[in-house]
Every structure is written in structure tokens, then in C-alpha cells.
Amino acid sequence: MSLVGKKAPLFNVGAVINGEEIVDTFSLEQYIGNKEVLFFFYPKDFTFVCPTEILAFQEKLAEFDKRGVQVVGCSTDTEETHLAWLNTEKDQGGIRSVTYPMVADVAKTIASNFGVLAGDWNYSEDGILQFDGTAIAYRGSFFIDKEGIVRHETINDLPLGRNIDEYLRIIDAWHHTQEFGEVCPANWEEGKDAMEATRKGVAEYLAAH
């Protein structure tokens, strides 16, 4: 069930911040009223596609900062495993140099509440509680506004890496709608024409393009 238009689920768990410090309590609540958030899940530390995405977010971090957006990553690994990976060099499969927060969803409740846990708990015919699926997160990404409302979400299956520039485009589109009251058509990018949310506006846009 989509979270778009709804409050992002709250949590308070351990995390690694600044690429080097473990904190026992981390929450997205600290950003409400101050910053927007791009909150993303990835499956697992010390894997293959995941470091390419995590480092790609870091490479674009200045662009997110310029737009007033805080990037936060999350997986079902422990904060100690996060820190070990952050201390591993890139040429050894590590993510050293990443500075944005990395949340530890050890209980898997955050992934479950955001709808990205790759499986679920069920009872067997013998009444034994067991997990069906893979107890890690899909590649879920959530753009959350300053009020804590989810404005965009995407969920990729485990093998499918994300395009980080697409999230910047979505953020630009959201900012445009908020500033000018226009809506953004297909393939819109910063600097292109948007349109009024009226039949006349649509007709004028289509005629011009």
C-alpha cells in the first residue's frame, strides 16, 4: 500500500552518522519543519549493487544539499556492520567517504512499516512462526517533505539499481509546483515548461510541444 500523501512512519533506532560515529537514537523527526528528506533502503551491507548506489548518492550529495534535502540510508544490518563497511576502502568493496546517516533497522520494523521488506512472517501448517521470503529490504526510496509527508516513492526489486538523478528531478518538480502552482508534465526537467492544472493549460502546453 502506497505511503504517498501520508505521514512517513516514525522510528527511533541506532545509526552511523558522519561516516564514523555510532548513535543509539536516530530519527527522521529531527528534520521535520527544517529539511526535506530522501530516505532510501538498500538490501545489505558488503554486497554488490548496494555500494554503487550508496556511493552514487554520496557523489550527488552537494546537489541534494543545495536543494535543502537530507539523504538518509537504511538497511536491516546492525550499526556495527555499517561502521565496518564505512571503514572499508572502495577498492575492497567498501563505502569509505560516505558521510550521510546510515540507519540500522535490525528489528526490520522500519522496512516493514515502509512496505519494503522482502517477505513477511507467517505461521506454518504446524503452527510454527516462520519468515517467508528474504528478510532484507527492497530498494525503496521515499521523498519526504518538511511536514513529514511522503511525496514520492519507488521500490525496486533486489537486482535493479537506482538512477540517482531521477530523484533530483523529482525534487526539482516538487519545488516547482510549490513555488509556482503549476504541474509538471511527462519528462519535465528544471528549466522546461510546466503547465497550469486546467484544460486550457493542458491544451496550450500540448499545442506548444
| Catalytic residue set | 50
160-168 LR contacts (CB < 8 Å, sep 24+): 161/49, 161/52, 161/53, 162/40, 162/53, 162/56, 164/53, 164/56, 164/57, 164/59, 164/60, 165/60, 167/38, 167/141, 167/143, 168/60, 168/63, 168/64, 168/67
Chain centroid offset of residue 78 CA? 18
- Please list the alpha-helical segments (H only) found in 76-188: 79-86, 109-113, 164-180
Cell triple for residue 158?
Answer: 533486489
- Please list the alpha-helical segments (H only) found in 130-198: 164-180
> Minimal CA–CA distance to 139: which of 34, 65, 82, 54?
54
Cα angle: 186, vertex 50, 171; to 5 degrees = 30
Give CA–CA dist 62/57, Å, rounded: 10
> Minimal CA–CA distance to 77: which of 120, 53, 47, 122?
47
